[in-house]
Amino acid sequence: MNMDTRLNTSAVHQLPENTNCLALSEDGQFFTIGHKGLSVWCATSYRSIAEWSQNNVEITSIQLTRLSGKTYLLGTIDDMGVARILINQSEVIQLLCIINTMENINNRSICVSFQLSQGGDYGVTSMSCNGASWIEVFYFPIDTWLKECASALSQQDSKASLVSEVQWSPIEMIHQIKPLHSVTDTIPESHPQFHSQYLALDGSCSVSFCTVHFLLPLSDERKDNKDIPNALCVWWGGRKHLLKYSLQKTTNITNVLPGTVWPNANTINCSTVSACTRYIALGLADALVCIWDRNYCSPLSVFSMSDMDSPLSAIYFLDYNDALSTCDAKHLLMKCKSRALYTTRKITREKNIRAVQWTERLHNLHTMVKDSGDLSAAAAVPFLHNLVLLIQRNGEMYLQDVINKTKVCSLMIPSKHMLATSCNPVFALNSRLHTLLIQGTKDPLSMEAGHNQLYIFHLGECDILKPYLITPSDCAKEEKCHFAKLEDWCSRYLQDRRINAQERAKDMRQTWMQLQETSAASNSRHLTPHV
């Protein structure tokens, strides 16, 4: 492998001033840019096709998802913490609604994060006001909006912008989720011993943030082939429990309790879900990693990273492209607060077995980047086998093979140019076109106009990267992970128990020996006379 291989930018395009964020649609056909307003761009021509702006509004966070055809839903947050929902159809962007209108500036709710489900059926906002935090879950009337949008467009001149006000159908809040002071509230009163022994207060009452993931239905829960989520998993900062909430509307939307509680040994620092959402990986305090299997409602693996130099700050499944992926997560990538990176050994599954078989203990880790203190971003490349994009604070970018621990190639931007925000780079990876889009700028000393730039790297056209390229035929070899019946789950669970029986017996012997040693040491201290 040539360690000095360099890949130059394929194209450079002008961006609006004050560009803050960038998001790609799942189909890779369009991307949207947040600035003093927002704009939607074609991902092949890199031409702005639609724009929206409002006085004194600067977009700082944006999401884009496809509804149907070339109609897309956009979710944004501005610099004042206001969340908006917009729709783009026929190169026209229209504001559908504002989620948190500011009626009282002294008692206003701030939107901290805003997530759209793929397909736009649901949205989740994380809100904050006067030190309190909560989650609001919304159902969006997508079909009705599409009809209203088509009707509005048919009534306007094809060359004119929309001037008439459209009365859009309102969104519906289905849940308002607040931090639980005690998860014992979720357990029936018929289990008092379970209350007292296992589910005491979960952390302090003060919660500053939360993390939310949409969960797709497992195969036996599916009513059709659409990937519409049916649940959320939620965890709050400083807490140990992972909570699952159904997306079914309840009669009391302000007092929603979780349907499932997944307890963990330590507080949760970070999390991720696999592409099929069957597996949920948690980075815990004290260098622990726990991977939950939703099929079994139990941990698939718990392992310690004793050689980690600082707490975990991010964790990723190195999955294939979401549109083509299977449930078999190939590797885990983990990042510490010190910006050191770790990855697990390869995860495989046996032939003729649908369920994932983890064939190696995951505590065997290796450090990927030795001198990674200046690392600002890391991202799995979903269309390249086992490659990760690494961006350093000095602006250097390269692709790393997580298996062979080798640098595959460096990504070079034009001379007298630099990344716009190297400490927090704005970029996106297009799985459909096999491209990297990243925001840059000209030399600040340059007198030329138009400093804001978009650099394009066509990774799929680089000869050294072609062996890593994931094709549909590669993914076709992998079987979709599903269980049609409960009997299949039980059968697979018993198979796993049989396969891992010796390992479990060994762990039990070691644990029993440790308990005996601890007990002996404790008895010795109590029997020793005090002088």
**383, 368 Cβ separation under 8 angstroms:** no
Position 132 pLDDT exceeds 80: yes
Q: Residue 2 falls within a domain, yes or no?
A: no
Position 194 pLDDT exceeds 50: no
499, amino acid identity: I
Per-residue pLDDT of 70-101, as tens digits, reads 899 999 999 999 999 999 998 899 999 999 98
Choosing from 177, 198, 224, the residue where a domain stops is 177
Q: Residue 270 falls within a domain, yes or no?
A: no
Same-domain pairing of 192 and 116: no
Q: pTM for this one?
A: 0.81
| Mean pLDDT of all residues in 27-51 | 95
Q: Residue 495 falls within a domain, yes or no?
A: yes
Q: Residue 350 falls within a domain, yes or no?
A: no
Q: Residue 314 falls within a domain, yes or no?
A: no
**Residue 78 belongs to what domain range?**
16-177
Q: Residue 100 falls within a domain, yes or no?
A: yes
Count of CA atoms in the C-beta half-sphere (13 A) of 504: 8
Same-domain pairing of 27 and 73: yes
CATH number at residue 28: 2.130.10.10
Q: Where are any strands of DSSP class E within 99-207?
A: 110-116, 122-129, 132-139, 172-177
Tokens describing residue 18: 């004050």
Per-residue pLDDT of 429-477, as tens digits, reads 999 999 999 999 987 666 565 578 999 999 999 999 999 998 765 554 4
CB atoms inside a 10 Å sphere around CB 224: 7
Question: Helices in 257-404 by DSSP H: which ranges?
Answer: none
Per-residue pLDDT of 292-330, as tens digits, reads 988 878 888 888 877 777 888 999 887 654 433 444 445
Q: Residue 229 falls within a domain, yes or no?
A: yes
Choosing from 218, 239, 263, the residue where a domain stops is 263
| Mean pLDDT of all residues in 37-60 | 95
**215, 229 Cβ separation under 8 angstroms:** yes
Give residue 46's pLDDT: 95
